[in-house]
């Protein structure tokens, strides 16, 4: 089923949040730091404020509570003591038009005394390096083992060690952040893209010292998200500026601002050692990861938690150790990004398994297959029992049965000239929801009218994935109704009960389950009352339901009181991918010829949308693997626009075959579970495997640029 707003979109009439215009509306702009690290000596706004057309100029001291989160390390709304990143916001300006606002923002004079820059995460914890926060440069650490890893590795027949790195990836949602805020009678409505309207409400209420109920966030329509709209300060900027200006304020970031100041995927330095018996059974894994969160904590420690859980992949690992640290630097702030810490560690683990397959003389599919987790097995690191809902083996088998994998040798032999051919395979799992012990829940509200028309308000909201359509399909299925007689609203914090983020692969599973639950309630009441008109007459036409994501039944090794820290998942989405590509042996260029994406999403409720998510995830994964890296030099961004930060075009993305693995997730709505994140994960290691198959060199660093590849060949 198509996206709800597709018909308006194809004729250009849908108003996105940055398209909105109000009478008397002002336009905002941001004064940003030009240097990576410094002490703010003075901020002089007099010249900016005196410019004709300027209606408000705000600095940190003007924000009632100048914090984006509960702690200092969450960062200020507007930097007032120190700047810690190029692009950090220092002042906000509202003016009669956008040009005036931008000129006034430039006219704010910020005197900064430069401080030494922390640019290398690998040395950020050294005592001689300046501390970016009072507590030092360690933003978080997760380190534990499920047994004696050293002994297990010493006893293993084959131990593969890989030292790898992955870059900072920019989301490049095509709509840059922006929107409008409007205050009326002490209450603010903010139209601004958000993957987490509840969180943004709390941020706005905290910053302005107002009640949460006085903040309404309308989180769409919005042009893409991918994680970037989780931590975005834009709703706060809009609200504080509109309040100060006493008029509605519109603001949008330029692409250049997004490149400098928007969040990025955490760059990782990762070392893994994986041990095998000579028969190819996994013996142990030991992973050390270092993540760079930039100047503020944002998602850093949570990302590491996901990294830890997925550091053993979908494999039976007798013992495992993970030691991850996330550090502060003056590089770009990192935040949530599709995959959330998993692509980085999967690249290390999957390429290590390929290396082991080569050393053991085994087929990479066979080696994986004999080690895959099956239902009832215990997770290698956390020790919790995995449910039968995981179909890792079926997913791998589906990918490996594709003709592009089966015929890879014939295809390779048909290579011509300098273009050498190779095929690779890789797989991954990614947990659905926030994990056990986190109290993760979603809610839905339903009202019927006398004619039986049903209105549903539910979250998580739509940022491109058409989750609202899936809610409608689930409701229609539970109620046995024509979907056309059901209306679904998402993304409006005034109307939708708090349901958490469009994140953690949880929207379908959590939001869909809440919708199913509220529909079941309505259905039962309907049967009892004898019809919708009667329910309305009785004043019983409104229903609410909450769905609590189930925890793992058998938590295994982890003491229950620590579950809150470790949060193992009951439900995993799974993907296995085959990449076939050509490598130019003289120039190092890579042309991807095709990708097979097998995905286990339980039952696909809206198969067209699932295929769209799979293809989009693979394309983003190809970008991560081959060309995307936000680069800085001494904390100063080098990739400053879409001219020098390249993402795949239609010419770079090949045909992608999506294979939906049949079977229901027993705990999911209509048998469904999340899949939109896991599909980005196997792409990088599958590309690396294909490169190794083509030219015999296994890349250790993503992206695999032509230059890096050619260096490897020489």
Partner 1 sequence: MKVNGVPVTPPDPDARLLDYLRDDLGLIGAKEGCGMGECGSCTVLMDGVPVCSCLVLVCQAEDADVTTVEGLRRTALQEAFVTGQAVQCGFCIAGMVVSASALLAEHPDPTDEQIRAGLEGNLCRCTGYGAIVRAVREAAR
Partner 2 sequence: MSPHPRTAAEVDRLDPARALLAGGTDLLVRRRAGHQGGPLADVSRLRDAPAPVRRLSDGSIWLSALAPLSVIDRELGGKLPGLRAAIACFASGQIRNRATLGGNLANASPAADGVPPLVVAGAVLRLRGPAGRREIPVTEFATGPGRTRLAPGEWIENIDVPPQPAHAGFRKIAGRRALAISIVSLAWTWDRGPGGALTGVRLAAGAVAPVVVRCPGAEAALEGRAPTPDVVAAAVAALGHDISPISDLRASAGYRRAALAGALTEALTPALTEAPARRNT
The residues of the shown chain that bind partner 1, judged by CB under 8 A, are: 1-3, 5-7, 9-16, 19, 171-176, 221-226, 252, 254-255, 463-466, 608-609, 611-612, 614-620, 641-643, 647, 649-651, 653, 655-656
| Per-residue mark of binding to partner 2, 629-658 (x: CB under 8 A) | --x------xx---xx-x-xxxxx------
Smallest distance from the beta carbon of 421 to partner 2, in angstroms? Answer: 15
Nearest to partner 1 of 157, 256 (CB atom): 256
Does position 416 interact with partner 2 (CB under 8 A)? The reply is yes
Alpha helices, H only, 290-381: 300-310, 342-360, 364-371
Smallest distance from the beta carbon of 454 to partner 1, in angstroms? Answer: 24
CA distance readout (Å), 382 to 95, 370, 602: 54, 20, 24
Q: What does the block give as tokens for 134?
A: 């009072």
Does position 588 interact with partner 2 (CB under 8 A)? The reply is yes
Handedness of CA 169, 173, 176, 177 (dihedral sign): negative
Does position 452 interact with partner 2 (CB under 8 A)? The reply is no
Smallest distance from the beta carbon of 104 to partner 2, in angstroms? Answer: 16
Does position 123 interact with partner 2 (CB under 8 A)? The reply is no
- Determine the interface stretch with partner 2 among 38-46, 68-76, 659-667, 704-712 (rule: CB under 8 A): 704-712
DSSP secondary structure string for all residues of 472-516: HHHHHHHHT--GGGEEEE-SBTTTSPP---S-TT-IIIIIHHHHH
Does position 418 interact with partner 2 (CB under 8 A)? The reply is yes
Smallest distance from the beta carbon of 418 to partner 2, in angstroms? Answer: 6
Q: What does the block give as tokens for 654?
A: 């090949």
Nearest to partner 2 of 305, 630 (CB atom): 630
Nearest to partner 2 of 320, 694 (CB atom): 694
DSSP secondary structure string for all residues of 75-130: --SS-SSEE-STT-EEEEEEESSHHHHHHHHHHSEEEEEE------GGGTTSTTSP
**For helices 364-371 and 392-400, what crossing angle results, to 10°?**
170
- Pick what 288 binds: partner 2, partner 1, none; C-beta below 5 to 8 Å, kind-dependent: none
The one among 417, 480, 539, 559 contacting partner 2 by CB under 8 A: 417
Does position 224 interact with partner 2 (CB under 8 A)? The reply is no
Task: Check residue 385 and report its DSSP letter.
Answer: B
**Strand stretches in 603-712, DSSP E:** 632-633, 636-637, 656-660
198 contacts: CB under 8 Å, gap ≥ 6: 493, 498, 499, 500
Handedness of CA 512, 517, 523, 529 (dihedral sign): negative
Does position 257 interact with partner 2 (CB under 8 A)? The reply is no
Q: Are strands 419-431 and 319-328 parallel, antiparallel or unpaired?
A: unpaired
Smallest distance from the beta carbon of 25 to partner 1, in angstroms? Answer: 12
- Pick what 2 binds: partner 1, partner 2, none; C-beta below 5 to 8 Å, kind-dependent: partner 1
Does position 223 interact with partner 2 (CB under 8 A)? The reply is no
Does position 589 interact with partner 2 (CB under 8 A)? The reply is yes
Smallest distance from the beta carbon of 652 to partner 1, in angstroms? Answer: 9
Nearest to partner 2 of 361, 417 (CB atom): 417
Nearest to partner 1 of 301, 464 (CB atom): 464
Nearest to partner 1 of 464, 588 (CB atom): 464
The one among 139, 352, 710, 712 contacting partner 2 by CB under 8 A: 710
Smallest distance from the beta carbon of 641 to partner 2, in angstroms? Answer: 8
Nearest in space to 552 (alpha carbons), one of 395, 376, 312: 376
Does position 627 interact with partner 2 (CB under 8 A)? The reply is yes
The one among 54, 688, 705, 712 contacting partner 2 by CB under 8 A: 705
644 contacts: CB under 8 Å, gap ≥ 6: 638
Smallest distance from the beta carbon of 652 to partner 2, in angstroms? Answer: 5
Does position 70 interact with partner 2 (CB under 8 A)? The reply is no
CA distance readout (Å), 61 to 26, 65, 136, 149: 22, 9, 25, 52
CA distance 499 to 477: 22
Does position 594 interact with partner 2 (CB under 8 A)? The reply is no
Does position 80 interact with partner 2 (CB under 8 A)? The reply is no
Smallest distance from the beta carbon of 424 to partner 2, in angstroms? Answer: 20
Smallest distance from the beta carbon of 106 to partner 2, in angstroms? Answer: 10
DSSP secondary structure string for all residues of 121-143: GGGTTSTTSPPSSTT-SEEEEEE
Nearest in space to 668 (alpha carbons), one of 534, 525, 468, 508: 508
Return the H-helix or E-strand segment holding 293: strand 282-294
Does position 397 interact with partner 2 (CB under 8 A)? The reply is no
Smallest distance from the beta carbon of 226 to partner 1, in angstroms? Answer: 7
CA distance 685 to 691: 10
Smallest distance from the beta carbon of 332 to partner 2, in angstroms? Answer: 16
The one among 216, 420, 584, 701 contacting partner 2 by CB under 8 A: 584
Whether residue 359 is preceded by a cis peptide bond, meaning omega within 30 degrees of 0, is no
- Pick what 463 binds: partner 1, partner 2, none; C-beta below 5 to 8 Å, kind-dependent: partner 1
Task: Check residue 550 and report its DSSP letter.
Answer: P
**What number of chain residues touch partner 2 (CB under 8 A)?**
27
User: How many C-beta neighbours within 10 Å does residue 398 have?
Assistant: 20
User: How many C-beta neighbours within 10 Å does residue 402 have?
Assistant: 20
Q: Which residues bind partner 2 (CB under 8 A)?
A: 416-418, 584, 586-589, 591, 627, 631, 638-639, 643-644, 646, 648-652, 705-707, 710-711, 714
């Amino acid at each position: 089923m198509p996206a709800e707003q597709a018909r308006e979109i194809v004729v250009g009439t849908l108003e996105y949040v940055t398209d909105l215009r109000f009478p008397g509306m002002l336009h905002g702009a941001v004064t940003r730091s030009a240097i990576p690290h410094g002490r703010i000596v003075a901020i002089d706004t007099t010249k900016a404020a005196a410019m004709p057309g300027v209606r408000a100029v705000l600095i940190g001291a003007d924000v009632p509570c100048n914090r984006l989160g509960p702690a200092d390390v969450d960062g200020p709304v507007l930097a007032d003591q120190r700047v810690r990143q190029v692009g950090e916001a220092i002042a906000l300006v509202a003016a009669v038009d956008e040009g005036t606002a931008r000129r006034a923002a430039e006219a704010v004079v910020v005197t900064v005394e430069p401080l030494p820059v922390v640019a290398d995460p690998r040395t950020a914890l050294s005592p001689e390096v300046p501390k970016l926060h009072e507590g030092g440069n360690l933003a978080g650490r997760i380190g534990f083992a499920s047994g004696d890893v050293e002994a297990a590795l010493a006893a293993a027949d084959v131990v593969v060690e890989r030292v790898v790195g992955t870059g900072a990836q920019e989301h490049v949602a095509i709509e840059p952040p922006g929107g409008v805020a409007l205050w009326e009678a002490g209450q603010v409505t903010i139209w601004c893209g958000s993957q987490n309207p509840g969180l943004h409400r709390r941020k706005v209420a905290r910053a302005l010292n107002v009640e949460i109920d006085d903040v309404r966030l309308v989180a769409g329509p919005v042009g893409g998200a991918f994680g970037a709209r989780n931590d975005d300060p834009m709703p706060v900027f809009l609200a504080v500026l509109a309040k100060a200006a006493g008029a509605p304020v519109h603001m949008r970031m330029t692409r250049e601002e997004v490149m400098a100041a928007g969040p990025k995927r955490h760059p990782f330095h990762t070392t893994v050692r994986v041990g095998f018996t000579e028969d190819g059974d996994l013996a142990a894994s030991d992973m050390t990861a270092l993540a760079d969160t930039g100047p503020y904590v944002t998602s850093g420690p949570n990302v590491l938690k996901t990294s830890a859980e997925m550091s053993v992949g979908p494999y039976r690992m007798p013992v495992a150790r993970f030691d991850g640290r996330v550090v502060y630097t003056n590089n770009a702030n990192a935040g949530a990004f599709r995959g959330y810490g998993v692509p980085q560690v999967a690249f290390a683990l999957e390429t290590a398994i390929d290396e082991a397959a080569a050393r053991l003389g085994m087929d990479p599919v066979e080696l994986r297959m004999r080690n895959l987790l099956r239902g009832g097995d215990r997770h290698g690191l956390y020790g919790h029992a995995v449910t039968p809902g995981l179909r890792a083996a079926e997913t791998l088998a589906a990918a490996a049965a594709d003709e592009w994998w089966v015929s890879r040798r014939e295809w390779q032999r048909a290579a011509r000239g300098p273009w050498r051919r190779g095929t690779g395979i890789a797989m991954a799992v990614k947990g659905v929801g926030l994990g056990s012990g986190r109290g993760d829940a979603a809610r839905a509200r339903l009202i019927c009218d006398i004619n039986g028309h049903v209105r549903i308000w539910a979250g998580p909201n739509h940022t491109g994935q058409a989750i609202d359509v899936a809610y409608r399909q689930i409701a229609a299925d539970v109620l046995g109704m024509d979907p056309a007689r059901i209306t679904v609203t998402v993304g409006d914090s005034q109307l939708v009960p708090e349901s958490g983020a469009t994140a953690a692969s949880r929207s379908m599973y959590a939001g869909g389950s809440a919708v199913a639950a509220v529909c079941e309630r309505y259905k039962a009441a309907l049967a009892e009352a004898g019809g919708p008109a009667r329910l309305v007459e009785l004043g019983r036409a409104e229903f609410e339901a909450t769905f609590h994501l189930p925890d793992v039944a058998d938590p295994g090794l982890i003491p229950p009181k620590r579950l809150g820290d470790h949060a193992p998942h009951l439900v995993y989405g799974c993907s296995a991918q085959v990449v076939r590509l050509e490598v130019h042996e003289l120039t190092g260029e890579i042309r991807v010829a095709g990708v097979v994406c097998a995905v286990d999403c339980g039952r696909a409720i809206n198969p067209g949308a699932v295929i769209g998510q799979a293809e989009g995830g693979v394309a983003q994964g190809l970008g991560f693997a081959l060309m995307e890296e936000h680069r800085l030099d001494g904390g100063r961004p080098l990739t400053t626009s879409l001219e020098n930060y390249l993402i795949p075009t239609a010419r770079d993305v090949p045909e992608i075959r999506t294979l939906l693995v049949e079977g229901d997730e027993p705990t999911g709505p209509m048998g469904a579970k999340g899949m939109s994140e896991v599909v980005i994960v196997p792409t990088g290691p599958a590309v690396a495997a294909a490169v190794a198959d083509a030219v015999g060199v296994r890349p250790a660093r993503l992206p695999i640029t032509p230059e890096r590849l050619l260096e490897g060949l020489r």
